[in-house]
Structure 1
Amino acid sequence: MSQSVKNLLAARARLGECPVWDADRQQLFWVDIYNHRVHQFDPATGRDRYFDTGDLVSAIALAGSDRLLIALRDRLAFLNTQTGEIVSLYQIEFPHPDTRCNDGKCDSQGRFWIGSISEAPGQAALYRYDPDGSLHVMETELTISNGLGWSPDGSTFYLTDSAPHKIYAYDYEAATGTISNRRILVDLSKEAVEPDGLAIDEQGNLWSALWDGWCIACFNPAGQEILRIKMPIQRPTSLTFGGSHLTDLYITSASVGLSQTEIQQGFYAGDLFYLSTNFSGMPTRQFLSSPGVQ
Structure 2
Amino acid sequence: MYQIVQDKLHNVLNARARLGEGPIWDDNDKLLYWVDIYNHRVHQFHPASGKNVFFDVGDVVGAIAKAGKNQLIIAQRHRLAFLDTETGIVTPIVEIETDLPDNRFNDAKCDPQGRFWFGSMSSSGKAQSSLYRYDFDGSLHVMETGLTVSNGLGWSPNHETFYLTDSPQQKIYAYDFDTATGNISNRRIFVDLTGESFFPDGLTIDSQGYIWSAMWNGWCVIRFSPEGKEIFRLQLSVPLVTSCTFGGEDLQTLYITTASIGLKQEDIEKSFDSGDLFAFDTDVTGLLTYDFNLSRKV
Q: TM-score range by the shorter chain?
A: over 0.9
Equivalent AA in structure 2 for residue 98 of structure 1: D
CA–CA distance in 2 between the matches of 1:145 and 1:238?
13
CA RMSD of aligned residues (A): 1.2
Q: Report the secondary structure of 1:61's partner residue.
A: strand
CA–CA distance in 1 between the matches of 2:163 and 2:56?
31
- Displacement, 1:49? 0.2
- Displacement, 1:239? 0.3
Hey, what does 1:37 align to over in structure 2? 41
- Displacement, 1:2? 9.1
Equivalent AA in structure 1 for residue 75 of structure 2: A
Matched, 1:53 2:57: yes
Matched, 1:228 2:249: no
- Displacement, 1:3? 3.4
Hey, what does 1:164 align to over in structure 2? 169
CA–CA distance in 2 between the matches of 1:34 and 1:264?
22
Which residue of 109, 113, 118 corresponds with 1:114? 118
CA–CA distance in 2 between the matches of 1:105 and 1:134?
16
Equivalent AA in structure 2 for residue 60 of structure 1: I
Matched, 1:131 2:139: no
Which residue of 68, 92, 96 corresponds with 1:92? 96
Q: From the superposition, tell whether residues 76 and 210 of structure 1 become closer, same or farther in structure 2 (CA, over 3 Å).
A: same
CA–CA distance in 2 between the matches of 1:38 and 1:48?
10
Q: Deviations over 1:181-240 (max 9, x none)?
A: 000010111211000000000000000000000111000000000010100001010000
CA–CA distance in 2 between the matches of 1:115 and 1:228?
26
Structure 1 unmatched runs, 5+? none
> Where do residues 1-294 of structure 1 align in structure 2 (5 Å cutoff)?
3-94=7-98, 96-120=100-124, 121-288=126-293
What's the TM-score once normalised by structure 2's chain length? 0.95
**Is the Cα–Cα contact under 8 Å of residues 201 and 242 in structure 2 kept in the other structure?**
yes
What's the TM-score once normalised by structure 1's chain length? 0.97
Structure 2 unmatched runs, 5+? none
CA–CA distance in 2 between the matches of 1:106 and 1:130?
10
- Displacement, 1:256? 0.3
- Displacement, 1:96? 2.6
**Is the Cα–Cα contact under 8 Å of residues 2 and 277 in structure 1 kept in the other structure?**
no
- Displacement, 1:119? 2.2
**Is the Cα–Cα contact under 8 Å of residues 125 and 141 in structure 1 kept in the other structure?**
yes
- Displacement, 1:112? 0.3
**Is the Cα–Cα contact under 8 Å of residues 2 and 278 in structure 1 kept in the other structure?**
no
Percentage of matched positions with identical amino acids: 58
Q: From the superposition, tell whether residues 107 and 125 of structure 1 become closer, same or farther in structure 2 (CA, over 3 Å).
A: same
CA–CA distance in 2 between the matches of 1:189 and 1:94?
32
CA–CA distance in 2 between the matches of 1:185 and 1:16?
26
Stretches of 4+ aligned residues off by more than 6 angstroms: none
